[in-house]
Amino acid sequence: MRIYERPRSSGEAFYTHTTTTTTTRPSSKRNNGMASLVASNLAAAAKYKNPVAVFVGGTSGIGQGMAESLNRQTKGNAHIVLVGRNKDAAETIISKMKAANEGPSTGSYDFVPCDVSSLPNIKPAAATILSKHPKINFLVLTAGYLWSFIHELLPSLRSAKEAGEDVKVLSVYAAGVAGSGDAAAVGNDVMIEEYATRNPGIVFTHAAPGAVRTNILKSSDSVMVRGMGRVLPLFASLFTVSQDECAEYLWSGLYRSTASTGSGAIPGAHRIGSKGQDLGMKAYYGTPEKRKEVWEETVKVTDTTEA
């Protein structure tokens, strides 16, 4: 079981994310609900003064949506780090975030190039982040080697906690929706539990984003899946949300997650659904034995010391 890698097959892309380049008009009820959620997140973000947020996979899709959402919530006063391969995309996103700031802001924006699907790239990228940001408040992971990124950035996460600041880690994958045979989903569950056990005071959350309109189908290697990407926009708005809407839902769940509570028996270990709701232990297939086994195997395979 390899929880340190997040698979990205075309089949997974189809069931987890959908894509469209069109603009749809949600119902009035949905508009009102989203407006209320945005206002709630804005109020929750007000407690954070110049938070540092790292988005692994932040140059597209859900990661991009969450970065842009936090920028709006903090009114440009967050220090945002985008990690990914596409420099041009990162520069476009950063320009968009800067343009969205209505008044003076004290935040900053940075891009750290990294092919997050290659394990040897993780340590150099993390070292670059650590050198610039001795404290990290939010770590959002939507792609790549999840366990290794968390492990390498722990010094800055712990520094923020020791300074009395909120610290939250979010792994976006498949909480509460996968079966017992999905090793990656089970691995994410036990990963956040073990990290929470070893790092009291820090929140570790596993989320299921639901069906989200991102560009993942458009970039698929499969002709069939790319074809679906051209057809789905015709009816996608009926059963999907935009990456911006998804971001607001996930932020709402993350803001509510605390280090003193948990979805199960472990404080700080949370599982949230596509609307940010607490999932409890729905479709949970981990055990203390699996948690220990996965942790020890991951330490061995990634050639790291205990976190």
pLDDT exceeds cutoff 90 at 217: no
**Residue given tokens 């010391």 in the structure block:** 305
* 10-21+28-301: CATH superfamily: NAD(P)-binding Rossmann-like Domain (3.40.50.720)
| CB-count burial class (<10 Å; 0-12, 13-18, 19+) for 122 | buried
Other Cβ atoms less than 10 A from the Cβ of 134: the count is: 12
* 15-41 pLDDT, tens digit each: 233 223 333 344 555 677 899 999 999
For residue 109, the model assigns a pLDDT of 98
Instruction: Give the integer Cα–Cα distance in Å for 75 and 32.
Output: 22
Cα 77 vs. chain centroid, distance in angstroms?
20
How far, CA to CA in Å, does 67 sit from each of 97, 137, 203? 9, 13, 18
3-state secondary structure at position 108: strand
Q: Which residues contact 39 (CB under 8 A, 6 or more apart)?
A: none
3-state secondary structure at position 139: strand
In this prediction, residues 123-152 reach a mean pLDDT of 96
* 242-293 pLDDT, tens digit each: 999 999 999 999 999 999 999 999 999 999 999 999 999 999 999 999 999 9
For residue 161, the model assigns a pLDDT of 99
DSSP 168: E
- Given pLDDT bands bounded at 50, 70 and 90, which one contains residue 7? very low
Half-sphere exposure of 53 (CA within 13 A, CB side): 32
Q: What is the DSSP string of 146-158?
A: HHHHHHHHHHHHH
* 40-86 pLDDT, tens digit each: 999 999 999 999 999 999 999 999 999 999 999 999 999 999 999 99
For residue 167, the model assigns a pLDDT of 99
- Given pLDDT bands bounded at 50, 70 and 90, which one contains residue 10? very low
Asked if 267 and 196 touch (Cβ cutoff 8 Å), the reply is: yes
Instruction: Give the integer Cα–Cα distance in Å for 206 and 210.
Output: 13
* 97-133 pLDDT, tens digit each: 999 998 899 999 999 999 999 999 999 999 999 999 9
